[in-house]
Amino acid sequence: MSEVIPWKNSLHGGHSKAFCDHAYDSIEDMIEAAIGVGYNVWGVTEHAPRLGPEFLYITEQALGWTVETLEEKFDAYAAYMLEMQKTYGDRITLLRGFECEVVPHDRYIEIMQGYRERYNFKYMVGSVHYVNGTMIDFSPDMFMEGAEKNGGVEGLAVAYYEHIAAMVTALKPEVVGHLDLIRLHAPDEESVATPKVRAAAEATLEVIAQEGSILDINVAGLRKNLGRPYVAPWLLERVKAMDIGVCFGDDSHGIDQVGFGLEETRQYLLDNGIESVTTLLPNGTGGVKKEAIAL
């Protein structure tokens, strides 16, 4: 087991094969891996169900899963993580949360608020994977379908940041996930960083600052060969100016991803003038509290 280091925290990750079709290790093995790399706090945030057969992944359909399957697995996840917190609580601070979805677009707010209340989740990662019903991080072809529906790549990127702002205002998530995920399948980085897109992103950051959410600095950007974590330097410049807290997110779906790229991402933050991360800790009354930790 590695030495526990205060800044080693992840508030977004822990997707596991029992509850997520595209994860490949058990949650127990992933928790052991988190302990092994010296995590101080590790937040587990399984995907919320997408309530509509049109939102099932191709891989889920191939497995014969239905919307009811997603709901059953999420119910099991919520209960199982309570047991994991009891089992591992003396070895690591495990946080039990979930990652929201913004579909169906006309009723996701009540659905996600309902999950939070029903399962007594203490925190939420607010993520946007769909823009006007189209998934933007599944494939380049699907990304371009979304662009065609939204007036081009620039229009899709503007709509994406507007979706995040609306989600943050409505759900007030403690953490905002992979802010510039729109970059993943874009033709090039500049196409989703035009002046109009940057203005929309800055307006979204103002909402995040107002609501006090923490911004996920997500290492998946390194795993997916983007050359850096999510969030881009031009966004980090505004994050620093607005004094928005940031956290690490390993977005892990298997043990090989637990702690991946953490040292590189720490250096990336330091290189961009960010000298601390914000984590969440149990507050002693059943909720969570923020704590800033120097890098």
Q: What is the percentage of the chain residues whose pLDDT exceeds 70?
A: 99
pLDDT value of position 4: 73
Q: Is residue 157 over pLDDT 70? A: yes
* Residue in the block written with tokens 């590189």: 264
CATH code reported for the domain at 9-294: 3.20.20.140
Between strands 246-249 and 276-282, the pairing is: unpaired
Average confidence (pLDDT) over 216-237:
97
pLDDT, mean of residues 218-238: 96
Q: What is the pLDDT of residue 1?
A: 60
Q: For residue 176, what are the β-bridge partners?
A: 126, 215
pLDDT in tens, 70-126: 999 999 999 999 999 999 999 999 999 999 999 999 999 999 999 999 999 999 999
The DSSP line for 226-263 is SSS-BS-HHHHHHHHHHT--EEEE---SSGGGTTTTHH
Peptide bond into 233 cis (omega under 30): no
Residue-wise pLDDT for 276-291, tens only, equals 999 999 998 889 999 9
What is the chain's mean pLDDT, rounded? 97
Asked whether the predicted pLDDT for residue 274 surpasses 80, the reply is: yes
Cβ atoms within 10 Å of 244's Cβ, excluding its own: 21
What average pLDDT score do residues 179-207 get?
A: 98
- Amino acid identity of residue 166, one-letter, is A
Q: Predicted confidence band at 3 (pLDDT cuts at 50, 70, 90)? A: confident
With 0-12 CB in 10 A as exposed, 13-18 as middle and 19+ as buried, what is 138? middle
Where on the phi/psi map is residue 171: left (φ > 0), alpha (ψ -120 to 50), or beta?
A: alpha
Q: pLDDT digits over 24-70, tens only?
A: 999 999 999 999 999 999 999 999 999 999 999 999 999 999 999 99
Q: Where are the domains of the chain?
A: 9-294
